[in-house]
Amino acid sequence: DGGITQSPKYLFRKEGQNVTLSCEQNLNHDAMYWYRQDPGQGLRLIYYSQIVNDFQKGDIAEGYSVSREKKESFPLTVTSAQKNPTAFYLCASSLAGVSYEQYFGPGTRLTVT
């Protein structure tokens, strides 16, 4: 089955720890995205990557880092510098330059205490 997967679904961390969220896609999409969603709110773009080994900051990149070493993978690290890391994190991918439609993963709910 083609799709985009995120793991784990739920993640708990202590304050001050870095944590890495996984995102993998087998859709052969060039572009991948990370969004953050807070309760009752829309999605805000953290980082995006349109090609391997390249990525750009979104609207709320502070306290986050990403890498794009492989086309199918776009892991997000939530660092201890992120002041309010507890949120629902969504990864998406799209055929950049062909279609604007973004396909979303199931999300990871991160709780930091």
Which residues contact another protein by CB under 8 A? Answer: 31, 35, 40-45, 48, 50, 58, 90, 92, 94, 96-97, 100-107, 109
Q: How far is the CB of 3 from another protein (least distance, A)?
A: 10
Of 16 and 100, nearer to another protein (C-beta) is: 100
Instruction: For residue 9, give every residue at least 6 positions away whose Cβ sits within 8 Å of its Cβ, in sequence order, or none.
Output: 106, 107, 108, 109
Nearest to 92 by CA among 21, 33, 43, 15: 33
Of 17 and 62, nearer to another protein (C-beta) is: 62
Residue 70 DSSP label: B
Q: How far is the CB of 41 from another protein (least distance, A)?
A: 6
